[in-house]
Amino acid sequence: MKKLGVLAFGGNALLQAGQKGTIEEQEQNAFDSGERLITLIDRGYNIVITHGNGPQVGNILLANQAGNQVHGLPEMPLDICVAYSQGLIGYILEQQLRNVLQKRDLDRDIITIITQILVHQDDPAFKNPTKPIGPYYTKDQVDEIMKNSSSKFAKDPQGRGWRKVVASPKPLVISNKKSIERIARDGQIVIAVGGGGIPAFYVEPNKLQGIDAVIDKDLASALLASQINADKLFILTDVPKVCLHFNTPKEKSLDRVSIADAKKYLKEGHFAEGSMAPKIRAAIYFVEHSGKDAIITKSTQLGIDGGGTRIVMV
């Protein structure tokens, strides 16, 4: 029986810092990422792919606002923009993964599932926005935007500028999880929980409604992986291993970390919010709830023995 792996791609896997975001750039990035993840199929995995949408949903929001200001088009709320991004990114990933499979003479269906996730409307995250979305700005640009906006911005921990931050509530219930698991275990590739999922809540009994937020895709992926009994969670980022004292002369990469040590490092402030900290929390969640391992690494390390940082129970 094949193993089941959940791979959580960041939104930057398709739209990288410094790129304009053309369809050609995003297609090439998706193709390159697809070639790397296919190595897991070679290693006996069925796979579910999840993805972030930070750059894309921010750009969709900006286009939405421009359409309102220039043409009077009605603005859509953030949950609708997340839904847009699921369809957009799912389409690009499906197409480019198909190209990779055909290149390798592999025959599998690729299915994108638009995924709603239940959150609580009173989640404290709504009072403390932390999730970065959209493009990077200079401090001068942020100051100018803030003259006519109530948006909040935070400085990027890697020094790439400033980004808008929005609420990121805790994911509670994932829709269609039984179908996601069944299709994946049948050998098909499933793309789900795009952008962390579309946040929704019960405005009254038996009536769902979207809410203005972006769920952290790593935590949503960890929840999904634990609920579909995945054998491993792969959290993909832009560094090959988790590091202590990142980007300093004392930098130390980690090969294997127990959840106790991971919690200690979090408490000591080794991992930046909006960057590595959410990934560590997601890995801890998956390991605690499944008893299986999580891997945090760069996509180029997939399929390499000893690649990445392994988060384990003890």
Q: Which of 13-22, 54-63, 177-186, 267-276 has the highest mean pLDDT?
A: 177-186
Looking at the predicted structure, is the pLDDT value of residue 304 above 80? no
Q: Does residue 138 belong to any structural domain of this protein?
A: no
pLDDT recorded at residue 239: 87
Domain tally for the chain? 1
Instruction: Give per-residue pLDDT as tens, 137-173.
Output: 899 999 988 888 888 899 987 788 998 898 999 999 9
Q: Exposed, middle or buried: residue 31 (CB in 10 Å: 0-12, 13-18, 19+)?
A: middle
In a domain, 46, yes or no: yes
Q: Is the pLDDT of residue 305 over 80?
A: no
Give the separation between CA 212 and CA 69, rounded to whole angstroms.
20
pLDDT at 247: 86
Report whether pLDDT(1) > 80. Answer: no
Please say if the pLDDT value at position 240 is more than 80: yes
Active-site amino acid positions: 11-12, 131, 217, 279
pLDDT in tens, 284-303: 999 999 999 999 998 888 87
Give 118-144 pLDDT, tens digit per residue.
999 999 999 999 888 888 889 999 998
List pLDDT tens digits, range 211-230: 999 999 999 999 999 999 99
Confidence of residue 253 (pLDDT cuts 50, 70, 90): very high
Provide the greatest CA pair distance for the chain. 59
Q: Does residue 135 form part of some domain?
A: no
Mean pLDDT of the chain: 92
Per-residue model confidence (pLDDT) at position 75: 87
d(CA 157, CA 271): 10
Query: What's the Cα-to-Cα distance from 264 to each of 132, 187, 259, 275, rounded to whole Å?
Result: 25, 38, 8, 17
For residues 80 and 134, which has the higher predicted lDDT (pLDDT)?
80
The boundaries of the domain holding residue 278 are 3-129+171-312
Percentage of the chain exceeding pLDDT 70 = 99
Q: What per-residue confidence (pLDDT) applies to 286?
A: 98
Specify the CATH number for the domain of residue 217. 3.40.1160.10
82 inside domain: yes
Q: Residue 83: which pLDDT band, with cuts at 50, 70 and 90?
A: very high
37, 298 in Cβ contact below 8 A?
Answer: no
Does pLDDT of 274 surpass 90?
no
pLDDT at residue 257, rounded to an integer: 97
Q: 150 lies in a domain?
A: no
Nearest to 82 by CA among 110, 53, 45, 49: 53
Q: Is residue 234 part of a domain?
A: yes
- Is 115 a domain residue? yes
How would you classify the pairing of strands 162-166 and 152-155? antiparallel
- How do the residues of the chain divide into helix, strand and coil, expressed in percent and rounded to 5? 40, 25, 35
The H or E element containing residue 152 is strand 152-155
**Does residue 159 form part of some domain?**
no
Q: For residue 192, what pLDDT is reported?
A: 97
**Res 92 pLDDT > 90:** yes
Stretch 94-119: mean pLDDT: 96
Report H helices in the chain. Answer: 23-42, 54-71, 78-103, 139-146, 177-185, 217-227, 259-267, 276-290
Contact criterion met (CB below 8 Å) for 236 and 7:
yes
Which two three-digit tokens encode residue 294?
């999580």
